[in-house]
Amino acid sequence: LSDRLTSTFKNLRSKGRLSEADIDATIREIRRALLDADVAVPVVREFTASVRDRALSAEVSGALNPAQQVVKIVNEELVAILGGESRGLRFAKTGPTVIMLAGLQGAGKTTLAGKLALHLREQGHTPLLVAADLQRPNAVTQLSVVGERAGVPVFAPHPGNQSGTEVDDVIGDPVAVARDGLETARQRQHDVLIVDTAGRLGLDSVLMQQAADIRDAVTPDEILFVIDAMIGQDAVTTAKAFEEGVDFTGVVLTKLDGDARGGAALSVTGVTGRPILFASTGEKLTDLEAFHPDRMASRILDMGDVLTLIEQAEKAFDADEAAKMAQKLESGQDFTLADFLVQMQQMKNMGSMKKMLGMLPGMGQMREALENFDEREVDRIEAIIRSMTPGERDNPKIINGSRRARIARGSGVTTADVNQLLERFAGAQKMMRQMNKGGGSMPGMPGMG
Ligand code: GDP
Ligand code: MG
C-alpha cells in the first residue's frame, strides 16, 4: 500500500518548503541543459542563482514533485527573461516608420530585410528597402534580388550598375544613401523604410561607427539587432558591442531552423534586456515568425516533455480537493473512504501520463508508484465503495463477514478484493493520522521528510 500511495500522500502536504538538496540537484541538471544550449556562462550563473533563491522560498506545490517544481520555476523565469509576452514592431505616429538592421556579417540582415518587407507588404504597408551596405558591391545586388522577390522597391546608390565587380571596396557613402532613402520614402509616401547595413565577420569599430552614423541620419523607430542563433558563447560580447556601438530596440534571432538550441536568445536578453521580436527559420522569405518566449524557453531547456507533464500533472491534481483534504485533516477530522476514493482517482489521472514518465529526471517514487498502478483498479475500488451503505463508508469497522459478501456481490468482485481494499484503506487512514500528528512528515517513508 504505502509504495503506491506515497506520491499521492506526498501531494497532500500543502505546507513547507522545498529542500535545498532537492533544489540543488535539479539546478545542476538545469545548468547542464543551459550550457548545452550554449547560454553564456555568466548568464547561466546569474540565472540559476536567481532560480535557486526563488525555489528556496517557494511554497511546496500540491501537484508537483520537487524536481518538477524547480523545472517549473526555471521555465517561468526563462519565459520572463525572454520577454514575457512578445511584442510586434513599433510604428511611427507620423511619417515613415524607420527600421534599421544591424549585426555581424552573415547574421541574416539582408535576408531579414526581404522577409520584413514581404511581411509588411502583406499587411498592407508600403515598405521601401534601402541598401546601406556598400561594403561589397554584391550586397546591393543581393538586396535588389530580395526586394524583387518580396515585391518591394529597393533604394540603392547604383541601381543600374550591378556588374558585380570583385573589388571589396566602398562604392559610395552609406550614410548619404540612408538619408536619401528616407527622403525618397517621404516623397513617394512609403510608410515603412527598412535600412539594411553592413557588418564584418568580427567586431569592427569603423563599421560600428558607420552604423551609428546611419542611425543618426535616419533616427530609426526600431533598430533590430540581428543575431545568428548558432553564435554560441560569443552572443554576449557581440550583443554588448552592438548595444554600446549603436544600441538597439529589439532583437531578431536567425537560423533557428538549424540545430542551435537557442541559448543565444537567453544570453542576449539576459545581458541587454531587449525583447526578441522575430525568429527567422529558413532561407525563404516566408520563413519569419513572431518570437514566442514560451516556445524558446522549452527549446533552450530541451525538456518539452517534462514541461508538458508538469502542465498535465497540475491539471490532473485538483487543488481544491487537496486544500479541502488538508483542512479536514488539520481540523482533526478523519480520513474516510470517500477521501480515499478521491485520492485513487487523482492517481488515475496521473496514471494516464505513465508513458511519459520514462523521460523524467528525479521522478523516482512517482514513477514507481505509477508503474504499479493499474487504472482499472480505481474503477474496482469505486464500485466497491459505492456498494457500501453510508454507515459502512463512515465507519468501515462495522463491515463484518456477511456485509463483505454483500458488498462483493453488489460490486462484482470477490470477497478477497473487498478485504484487500479495507486493509489498504485502514493502512492509509493510519498514515494520515500519523502525518497529521507529525506536522507533515511521515515516519519511515524515504523521501518524505
Ligand atoms: P547578412 O550578411 O547579415 O546580410 O546575412 P545574409 O542575409 O546575407 O545571410 C547570410 C546567409 O545566411 C545567407 O546564405 C542566407 O540565406 C542565410 N540565412 C539567413 N537567415 C537564415 C535563416 O533563418 N535560416 C537559414 N537556414 N539560413 C539563413
Ligand atoms: Mg547583408
Give the model confidence (pLDDT) of 280-302 as tens digits: 999 999 999 999 998 899 888 87
Is residue 255 in contact with ligand 1, taking CB distance under 6 Å?
Answer: yes
Is the separation of the CB atoms in 101 and 197 below 8 Å?
A: yes
Give the least confident one: 133-142, 352-361, 411-420.
Answer: 352-361
Ligand 1 pocket mutation, candidates 118, 119, 140, 283, criterion most atoms within 8 A of CB: 283
* C-alpha gyration radius of the chain: 31
Question: Could you report the per-residue pLDDT of 18-74, keeping only the tens digit for each?
Answer: 788 888 888 888 898 899 889 999 999 999 999 999 998 887 776 777 788 888 899
Q: Is 283 in the pocket of ligand 1 (CB under 6 A)?
A: yes
C-alpha of residue 211 to centroid of ligand 1, in Å = 19
Kindly report the CATH number that applies to the domain delimited by 97-291: 3.40.50.300
Query: How far, in Å, CA of 67 to CA of 25, rounded?
Result: 8
The pLDDT score that the predictor gives to residue 169 is 44
How many residues make up the chain in this entry?
449
Please state, in angstroms and as integers, the Cα–Cα distance from residue 73 to each residue in 40, 54, 224, 274, 405, following that order.
20, 8, 30, 22, 51
Ranking 331-345, 364-378, 397-411 by mean pLDDT, the lowest is 364-378
CATH topology of domain 17-58+64-86+294-316: Four Helix Bundle (Hemerythrin (Met), subunit A) (1.20.120)
Whether ligand 1 lies within 6 angstroms of the CB of 274 is answered as no
- What is the end-to-end Cα distance of the chain in Å, rounded? 19
- Please indicate whether residue 197, judged by its CB atom, sits closer than 6 Å to ligand 1: no
The closest residue, in CA terms, to atom 20 on ligand 1 is: 108
**So where are the chain's domains?**
1-14+318-449, 17-58+64-86+294-316, 97-291
From the alpha carbon of 104, which atom of ligand 1 is closest? 3
Tell how far the Cα of 146 is from the centroid of ligand 2, in angstroms. Answer: 11
Across all residues in the chain, what is the average pLDDT?
Answer: 82
Calculated CA dihedral for residues 132, 137, 143, 148, nearest 10 degrees = 130
pLDDT at 94 over 70: yes
Structure confidence at residue 290 (pLDDT)? 93
Ligand nearest to the CA of 255: 1
The region of weakest confidence among 149-153, 222-226, 261-265, 427-431 is 427-431
Q: For residue 12, what pLDDT is reported?
A: 38
pLDDT at 446 over 80: no
Out of 146-155, 265-274, 357-366, least confident range? 357-366
pLDDT in tens, 104-132: 999 999 999 999 999 999 999 999 999 99
Ligand 1 pocket member 109 (CB < 6 A): yes
Give the nearest ligand 1 atom to 103 CA. Answer: 3
CA distance 383 to 411: 5
In DSSP terms, which residues pair with 157 in a beta bridge?
Answer: none
Q: Which residue has the higher pLDDT, 74 or 194?
A: 194
Task: Give the confidence band of 93 by pLDDT, cuts at 50, 70, 90.
Answer: very high
Q: Enter the ipTM.
A: 0.99
Q: Could you tell me which residues are annotated as the binding site for GTP?
A: 103-110, 196-200, 254-257
Check if the beta carbon of residue 267 is closer than 8 Å to that of residue 239. Answer: yes
- Cβ proximity of 113 and 196 under 8 Å: yes
So what's the pLDDT on residue 67? 80
Cell 492517481 sits at which residue? 347
Superfamily of domain 1-14+318-449: Signal recognition particle, SRP54 subunit, M-domain (1.10.260.30)
Residue 88's contacts (CB-CB under 8 Å, 6 or more residues apart) are 277, 290
Sign for the CA dihedral angle at 106, 213, 240, 295 comes to: negative
Report which of 229, 270, 283 is spatially closest to residue 252, judged by C-alpha positions.
229
Annotated binding site: 103-110, 196-200, 254-257
Q: Is the pLDDT at 199 greater than 90, yes or no?
A: no
Q: Using CA atoms, how far apart are residues 310 and 312, in angstroms rounded to an integer?
A: 5
Ligand nearest to the CA of 102: 1
Which stretch of 17-21, 31-35, 326-330, 383-387 has the lowest confidence by average pLDDT?
326-330
| φ and ψ at residue 262, rounded to 5 degrees | 95, 20
Q: Of 12, 44, 10, whose CA–CA distance to 29 is shortest? A: 44
Residue 288 or 378, more confident: 288
Asked if pLDDT for residue 343 goes beyond 80, the answer is no
Out of 209-218, 333-342, 347-356, least confident range: 347-356
Please determine, for residue 320, whether its predicted confidence score (pLDDT) is greater than 70: no
Kindly state the average pLDDT of the residues 390-414. Answer: 92
Q: Which atom of ligand 1 is nearest to the CA of 258?
A: 26
CA distances from 294 to 37, 74, 149 (A): 16, 12, 32
3-class secondary structure for the chain?
A: CHHHHHHHHHHHCCCCECCHHHHHHHHHHHHHHHHHCCCCHHHHHHHHHHHHHHHHCCECCCCCCHHHHHHHHHHHHHHHHCCCCCCCCCCCCCCCEEEEEECCCCCCHHHHHHHHHHHHHHCCCCEEEEEECCCCHHHHHHHHHHHHHHCCCEECCCCCCCCCCCCCCCCCCHHHHHHHHHHHHHHCCCCEEEEEECCCCCCCHHHHHHHHHHHHHHCCCEEEEEEEHHHHHHHHHHHHHHHHHCCCCEEEEECCCCCCCCHHHHHHHHHHCCCEEEEECCCCCCCEEECCHHHHHHHHHCCHHHHHHHHHHHHHCCHHHHHHHHHHHHCCCCCCHHHHHHHHHHHHHHHCCHHHHHHCCCCHHHHHHHHCCCHHHHHHHHHHHHCCCHHHHHCHHHCCHHHHHHHHHHHCCCHHHHHHHHHHHHHHHHHHHHHHHCCCCCCCCCCCC
State which ligand 1 atom lies nearest to the alpha carbon of 280: 23
Which whole number is the average pLDDT over 221-250? Answer: 94
Instruction: Evaluate: CB of 106 within 6 angstroms of ligand 1.
Output: yes
Quote the ligand 2 centre to 105 CA distance (angstroms): 7
